[in-house]
Structure 1
Amino acid sequence: MPILETERLLLDEITTDDAAFIRELLNDPSWLQNIGDRGVRTLNDATAYIKSGPMKSYKRLGFGLYLIKLKESKAPIGVCGLLKREVLEDNDIGYALLPKYTGKGYALEAAAGVVAYAKNTLGLKRIVGFTIPANPSSIRVLEKLGMQYVGTMQLSANDEVCNLYALDL
């Protein structure tokens, strides 16, 4: 059973069986430009990333990033879910798709499903989202989710300044 299901998508926990897809996604130029280089170059790197990131988050928090699959074909197309970063008081929503799946409403559909899951299943009261100012498609997704712009922030001294959005659930 998936964690959540939307009209066209299934979202489920990422496992080490997804290492090849995660390696592909994390090395896509749009991921590198908009999210950053996670140093995942090999299947072993991807497996380590999955274990220390998503799988650790599921165990510790009960949520994390989820693999997005097309309902009809079960093909993986991206990730979407909730993260808890030490530098943020609130949980934040994150999403990324392989370029051939962008522009079809999948990011918004997955993110809206995650927002509903955060509210109805996890009982969260507020989530945030952030994106670099040079990523208008991500800004549109956050705004279509009903998030309001609250300012700018840097996740770390080495990161770009990001636009921060918030949504009270």
Structure 2
Amino acid sequence: MKALAESERLGLVVMNEQHIEGAMQFWGDPEVMAASGGATDRETLPLVINAYRKCFETTGLTVFGVIERHSGQLVGACGFNPGEDEEKIELIYHFAVAFWGKGYATEAGALALNLARQKAGIATVYASADPANESSKRVLEKLGFHFIDHRWFDDTQQEEPYYELPIE
């Protein structure tokens, strides 16, 4: 499978059925998903992956699988949730616990943002982070996001720091 974007260590791919087991290591992990509405069960995961694949086919952007290039292993997901406003998209990222602290979220986020910059019509990327997740907030700052304020998010049922990045 050809990566749509690559760095020295990582590649972004459109996920498919072959990625279900790997995706269980992050989307199916209660620890990873504790601040993101909870873990996804194995039965629902194919629907999620299929929806993200269809999103890519429709919009050219999606939540991509993050592949570690030297091992070929799916280590996380990073990309854009579809929204109602085509000019403003949400960046998300989730990684298996074994890959935390390696700089992968920042690296994958930069790859995803480069793809967004190539897509006409996107003016702003936004993101939020669990208030207690200092690492995630640092990732957003390293990627150039600016803290705007705190906002309520229905999916996580909490107020979270909200960030934006203008796309030029």
| TM value normalised by structure 2 | 0.89
For residues 38-77 of structure 1, what are the structure 2 equivalents within 5 Å? Answer: 40-42=40-42, 44-52=43-51, 54-77=52-75
For residues 8-87 of structure 1, what are the structure 2 equivalents within 5 Å? Answer: 8-37=9-38, 40-42=40-42, 44-52=43-51, 54-86=52-84
Pairwise CA distance, 1:88: 9.4
Pairwise CA distance, 1:116: 1.5
Aligned residue number for residue 122 of structure 1? 119
* 2: CA distance, partners of 1:159 / 1:88: 25
Aligned residue number for residue 104 of structure 1? 102
Aligned residue number for residue 160 of structure 1? 158
Unaligned 5+ segments in structure 2 are: none
Pairwise CA distance, 1:87: 8.2
* 2: CA distance, partners of 1:140 / 1:86: 27
Q: Percent identity?
A: 25
- Contact 1:20–1:46 (CA under 8 A) maintained in structure 2: no
* 1: CA distance, partners of 2:156 / 2:92: 19
- Amino acid of the structure 1 residue aligned with 2:46: T
Looking at secondary structure, tell me which structure has more helix per residue.
Answer: 1
Aligned CA distance change for structure 1 residues 154 and 66 (closer, same or farther; 3 Å): same
Pairwise CA distance, 1:51: 1.6
- Contact 2:23–2:74 (CA under 8 A) maintained in structure 1: no
- Contact 2:87–2:124 (CA under 8 A) maintained in structure 1: no
* 1: CA distance, partners of 2:131 / 2:86: 19
Unaligned 5+ segments in structure 1 are: none
Secondary structure at 1:139's aligned position in 2?
Answer: helix
- Amino acid of the structure 1 residue aligned with 2:147: Y
- Contact 2:88–2:123 (CA under 8 A) maintained in structure 1: no
